[in-house]
Chain A
């Protein structure tokens, strides 16, 4: 029995998963903060401690994400795009289109039948389709990011934003608050604006069912519903969408171990 470790050091959160025989044994999620090297080590240690394991018990470690290259104890690195692909293919083998909504970036990834990347695209330096937009919305409305999803589902009439730009939408949201729009209607409008941006990426890589949403943004039920509505189809969401890339990294570690 060999344990493998997958780590995804994202710009917002760091995630680690321990796999054994292809089964998830433990995982951990912590804020990345300003030291990616330490965040990677800390999140891995947390996941290992849940199983009373040490780094010495791990047969192979693969790191990914924004700070993946800084994880000096990893045996290898992979891109978070490949890791998302591998993670989603493991969870939902029928999925061909993945939308990853991270803290800083969103991506659309097309998979082939074997779960390999066929095409991908990322948003550019733009918060419009990323989790940053949700953080901005939460700040304006004085609520927690985790409260956004449920609250947005109570919307009566989603505000129509004239822009997909998070910066301009912030000032527009303030105007709508002063006009009496409810927080729920504003959040539903923000979800629609984000979904439009994300689906634009999907169209560029080519939409192919089934679809899945991953990353921290997938924890927002309102955003997931808006994406589904924009796509005109239902979407799969992992139980813990933030750890999908870490899962993929662990699967890559497992597969490498098998072939080595």
Chain B
């Protein structure tokens, strides 16, 4: 049974619109059939968004649904269901929560299990997996789900980018990776055309990609307003305001959301309104997905004068002009370049600092730009690919940059059994004392 917990209060009124986005995305999957649309089980940040939007395919975001289950503290029944069929607890809990839900829905002949958070998610007509460096479950998760939904076809789009190697010239490699990614996206289009029975409208796709680019730019412009002291918005809100960029890319609604958020942040700055009053310490959320069941911990930080003006997580875009993308009339090639350069544009900076890495260089740039006093990393035990290198990142940051206070929190994204509120708050308190001592040492 779900444990009722008061939700986190958001600092911006724009962020309060996010539940409507999330519910809307979930209900769209349930209404798709009556609207004659196809549903695709899909994964975030993998270049397939615009293809789906341009073909009126409704994405069913498993990661979002699992996050909702976690935030409602109602994921345990799905985790246990998956575990009952030998899915280990140490596997990605986004995946196992979603697979458990899918298993229950199949047992009900496709009907939504009773009590599913926010109405649950509709049965997909296809699954769009993704093989890339960011997250390894994305090509096994749909295959595992297919054990229970054997009639649902799977297509895995492989989107790779040059791996970091300080001794290699990634600029020489980029074009090869872009060609490969663009070819994969073309195959994805063919697969979607086959399942939907519709042809891709390439002009519509180009317009959708253009809208995405505008949204990327506006997102960064808006988030950079958070450099202001006191910051008008912190990571607690950003874990909500990432939704339109992450789950609704290529839609006018997503763009309009950031227009509103931008206006609100400008107003807060003009009025001198910050997240914390007084703002004592500014911290970067340096890596890791949050514990969705414990977003209230950001308020715990805020209540003690600690704010997060910047985070690496869910900042899945960059100003387009900073990526210096080659001109192309092919929207799929543009997506491929945008994808590859999003990752490699940190490589040049990392090469300039011996011993650094692109991930660490990004953290350093944000620390400098947002005037941060310390860093918090969250290591989620079930998310290996994203979190396995966190200790090394923290150590490298201290080695190549400076000895700033760092807190490494360990928990999970969905599995609440990893969490202890009293213990977490104790760590946060001790970290704040470390920040105070560090500031005293600096005079």
Name the segment of A21-29, A115-123, A170-178 touching the other chain: A115-123
Does B429 lie within 8 Å of A79, measured CB to CB? yes
Min Cβ gap B424→A in Å is: 10
* Chain A residue with Cβ nearest B422: A66
Q: How far is the CA of A12 from the CA of B25 in the complex (A)?
A: 48
- Return chain B residues, CB-CB under 8 Å to A78: 433
- Return chain A residues, CB-CB under 8 Å to B430: 79, 81-82, 117, 120
- Return chain B residues, CB-CB under 8 Å to A50: none
Does B408 lie within 8 Å of A120, measured CB to CB? no
Does A112 lie within 8 Å of B433, measured CB to CB? no
Q: Which of A155-193 contact B (CB under 8 A)?
A: none
Min Cβ gap B283→A in Å is: 15
- Return chain B residues, CB-CB under 8 Å to A81: 426, 430, 433
B427 within 8 A of A: yes
Main secondary structure of the interface of A (DSSP, over half): mixed
- Return chain B residues, CB-CB under 8 Å to A8: none
Does B405 lie within 8 Å of A82, measured CB to CB? no
- Return chain A residues, CB-CB under 8 Å to B410: 124
* Chain B residue with Cβ nearest A82: B433
* Chain B residue with Cβ nearest A111: B437
* Chain B residue with Cβ nearest A109: B430
Does B441 lie within 8 Å of A125, measured CB to CB? no
- Return chain B residues, CB-CB under 8 Å to A80: 426
* Chain A residue with Cβ nearest B431: A120
B440 within 8 A of A: yes
Does A125 lie within 8 Å of B437, measured CB to CB? no
Does A119 lie within 8 Å of B427, measured CB to CB? no
A204 within 8 A of B: yes
Min Cβ gap A206→B in Å is: 9
B385 within 8 A of A: no
Does A204 lie within 8 Å of B434, measured CB to CB? no
- Return chain B residues, CB-CB under 8 Å to A112: 437, 441
Q: How far is the CA of A204 from the CA of B408 in the complex (A)?
A: 11
Min Cβ gap B431→A in Å is: 8
**Contact of B427 (CB < 8 Å), options: A82, A118, A122, A125:** A122
Does B418 lie within 8 Å of A116, measured CB to CB? no
23 A-B pairs in the complex with CB atoms less than 8 angstroms apart: A66-B422, A66-B426, A69-B422, A79-B433, A80-B426, A81-B426, A81-B433, A82-B433, A112-B437, A112-B441, A116-B433, A116-B437, A116-B440, A116-B441, A117-B430, A117-B437, A118-B434, A118-B437, A118-B438, A119-B405, A119-B434, A120-B430, A204-B391
Interface residues of A (CB under 8 A from B): 66, 69, 78-82, 105, 112, 116-122, 124-125, 204
